[in-house]
Structure 1
């Protein structure tokens, strides 16, 4: 490839990747140089490198670099995530960066284990192209525009083509906040903008189980995985959308009504209780607390109390979603064949 394409000693990780990204294959030496830089990079650098890679065409070389990056990130991230959970530290921006980098890997690992293909879309633009290509599918979507990383917010979506028209059913793990700066609102506006070009109808469900800033990706992956067991419920929502003359219908989970803006203009639902079990709010969970949500016969309230935690500030909430994150990371390590951990799931 010539002298100018050789990785130099002072090259950053992205610079080193850019020198080799167009090669048909990677040599052992190049692989070593790339992996060495990945292992020494900060989390911020890893996130920027991930963003660079997903903007490139899918080739064996690009995919090798992406796998190397994700493999390092999930291995590096598992211990801090476990330590934060054990110490009672809430996830922060570093955890959010970890989730963003490895989300497509977690989706692939879960798809292999559960048998439901969960597609990862890195932007709303990419998602709209996917709707046209696949016509029907289950996915998690990073709710930003193409080459736009203002928001790292994720949602779970099932899309179907009914009578040659696309229908998009979006499960929002948090809730709309009526402010342009919120990832929920920002993402919805972008989706509405792009969806009009394919004449799609949208169903928007505010599940509102997420009350933190940095757990949306894990909540969304969990919800998307549950689509395989709540098909009848989703069928009823798609039918309701099909019968309506509205381009977008807003729904919300009834037990979280006190968080919903303009709830009187939206349709109240009792979403399947199994979708709520990792929710943060013990108060909201108690409103449907008697409902059984697993094969152990546990009710929502019983399970919530089992995972209740009191922060230093005195707030009491469920940490169940943090255990689910640990479970997903361990499953990804098993998927890659690099895990020495006991992979027994706790969730």
Structure 2
């Protein structure tokens, strides 16, 4: 369902982009919009990952500089079934993390100093697992595409306004259409971008819990990150607000609502979903234990005799038909109608 929602939202973003081009310059404007979309996405495909890491002053680490973190990423990558991504540390006291990269083969995970200092090792592992889930599902590419479209739409609107002011007159809707495009198109693009982000966060929470093996680890991590993030300013994130949707928790202070303009779902909703997931896992495990006990206590076929009508039943407890350790032989032709007869 989340994949369907994401596909629909990306389709809406593409149609919106083409529609803005048509409103600005008719069919010619639509063609220009297509060219701009292709160019910006090709650039984003090759450069977005490293560009985001540079924006946040991420420092790459290895087994020498951060052995425990790198080994954790390696182990969880094996659990996720993806190549081990590059590992980075963000020099900020705000506990947070994000993933980037156009594919699992080009993935990167970045965690902050504050995350490693303030969370337990299990909670850090859960956060890393969440980011690996984004990489495995190629959410990092989806987020890049939506962010690129949103930026390109704003650029396209500005171009159209300049083009009309310079004498262009291909807009089939006139000045009213131009003003509507200027106001509504960037707003709609931002809403779609945020909707895509919220959809993918719920899915990454679920997949991350499966990768690390405990939904409550991630629930505890989210609770702590949100509490600390509100009181610590992440300056690189404040300067690059367009990357806020990439973090596990919104790094911008005062923007944690689960409303129309939020880049993330409400943390309370995400924690509730993870707790429900843990409850379902425990119920399933309990049912499996009961089933295994029933199988272990069920009569075994090898206890039954080969002769027609003869059944050898071990008396496991002392009772009216014999002492413990003896066998009772029952002769009854109807025995042959049983499952082993």
- TM over 0.5: same fold? no
Q: TM-score range by the shorter chain?
A: under 0.3
Could you tell me the TM-score, scaled by structure 2's length?
0.23
* Structure with greater helix share of residues: 2
Compare the two structures and name the one with the higher strand fraction.
1
Report 1 or 2 for greater relative contact order, CA contacts < 8 Å, sequence distance ≥ 6: 2
